[in-house]
Structure 1
Amino acid sequence: MTGTSLSRAIGEYLSSIEAGNYRTNANSALRQWQQWLERKRSVSQLDDVKVIDCRRYARHLKRRVREGELKSSTAHTYYAYVRAFLGFCEADELITTNPAAVSRAQAELPENTADANRQFWSERDRKAILAFMDKRVERALDGEGISRERAYRDRALVRLLALSGVRGAEVFRAPADDKRPGITWEDVDIEGGAVRVFGKSREYEHAQLPKKAADALERYHRVFDPPTPRFPVFPTDHAPSKYRAVREQLDGDYSERRIETLLDENDIDDVIREHEIVIPAISTRGARNLMKRLCEGAGLDIDGEYLKPHGARRGLGHQLYSEGHAELAQSALRHASIATTHESYSNIRASETADRVDDVLDES
Structure 2
Amino acid sequence: MTPRERSDQSLASSFERYLQDKGKGRGGDGGNYRRNAARELERFAEWTAGDRGNDDWTGIVPDDVDREPNFDDLDERVFREYARHLGGDRGLKQNTVQTYYRYISAWCGWCVNEGYLEAHYAQRASAMAPLPEDDGRKPGDQQAWTSEQRHALTRHVDERARDAVEAYTTLSQDTDPLDKQRARYAALKAARDRALVFVLAYTAVRVGELLRDPNDPRRRGVRWEDISLDDGSMDVYRKKQQWDAASLPDPVISPLRSYRQLMDPPADRWPVFPTFDQRTLATHVREELADRGLQPDVIEERRDEFARDLLLTLEEDIRPPSITTDGARSILQRLSEEGKVDIDHPKHDYLAPHGGRRGMGEVLVRAFGYTVAARYLDNSEEMVRERYSHIEAGELGDVATEALDEVDHIGT
TM over 0.5: yes
Task: Return closer, same or farther for 1:34/1:170 CA change in 2, 3 Å cut-off.
Answer: same
Match of residue 126, structure 1, among 128, 134, 150: 150
Amino acid of the residue matched to residue 52 of structure 1?
Answer: R
Query: Does structure 1 residue 259 correspond to structure 2 residue 270?
Result: no
How far apart, in 2, do the equivalents of 1:243 and 1:299 lie?
32
Amino acid of the residue matched to residue 386 of structure 2?
Answer: E
Partner of residue 75, structure 1: 97
What SS class does the counterpart of residue 132 from structure 2 fall into? coil
How far apart, in 2, do the equivalents of 1:326 and 1:223 lie?
39
Pairing 1:217-256 to 2, within 5 Å after superposition: 217-256=256-295
Is the contact between residue 234 and residue 246 of structure 2 (CA under 8 Å) also seen in structure 1?
yes
**CA displacement 1:163-222 (0-9 Å, x = unmatched):** 111122222222233222221112212222222222222332322211221222112111
Is the contact between residue 90 and residue 97 of structure 1 (CA under 8 Å) also seen in structure 2?
yes
Query: Does structure 1 residue 143 correspond to structure 2 residue 184?
Result: no
Deviation at residue 234 of structure 1 after TM alignment: 1.0
Amino acid of the residue matched to residue 127 of structure 1?
Answer: H
How far apart, in 2, do the equivalents of 1:91 and 1:208 lie?
42
Partner of residue 387, structure 2: 344
Pairing 1:58-137 to 2, within 5 Å after superposition: 58-65=83-90, 68=91, 70-112=92-134, 118-137=142-161
Query: Does structure 1 residue 307 correspond to structure 2 residue 346?
Result: no
Amino acid of the residue matched to residue 11 of structure 1?
Answer: E
Stretch of structure 1 that moved more, 238-247 or 291-300 = 238-247
What residue ranges of structure 1 are gaps of 5+ in the alignment? none
Deviation at residue 302 of structure 1 after TM alignment: 0.8
Match of residue 18, structure 2, among 6, 13, 18: 13
Is the contact between residue 76 and residue 124 of structure 2 (CA under 8 Å) also seen in structure 1?
yes
What SS class does the counterpart of residue 195 from structure 1 fall into? strand
Stretch of structure 1 that moved more, 182-191 or 252-261 = 252-261
With structure 1 as the length reference, what TM-score do the two structures score? Answer: 0.89
Stretch of structure 1 that moved more, 145-154 or 280-289 = 145-154
Q: CA RMSD in A?
A: 2.5
How far apart, in 1, do the equivalents of 2:129 and 2:359 lie?
33
Query: Does structure 1 residue 298 correspond to structure 2 residue 322?
Result: no
What SS class does the counterpart of residue 317 from structure 2 fall into? coil
Query: Does structure 1 residue 321 correspond to structure 2 residue 345?
Result: no
Is the contact between residue 61 and residue 110 of structure 1 (CA under 8 Å) also seen in structure 2?
no
Query: Does structure 1 residue 26 correspond to structure 2 residue 70?
Result: no
Deviation at residue 111 of structure 1 after TM alignment: 3.4
**CA displacement 1:218-256 (0-9 Å, x = unmatched):** 121111111211111111111222122223323343133
Amino acid of the residue matched to residue 129 of structure 1?
Answer: L
Q: What is the aligned-residue identity percentage?
A: 35
With structure 2 as the length reference, what TM-score do the two structures score? Answer: 0.80
User: How many matched pairs?
Assistant: 360
Stretch of structure 1 that moved more, 265-274 or 77-86 = 265-274
How far apart, in 2, do the equivalents of 1:100 and 1:177 lie?
29
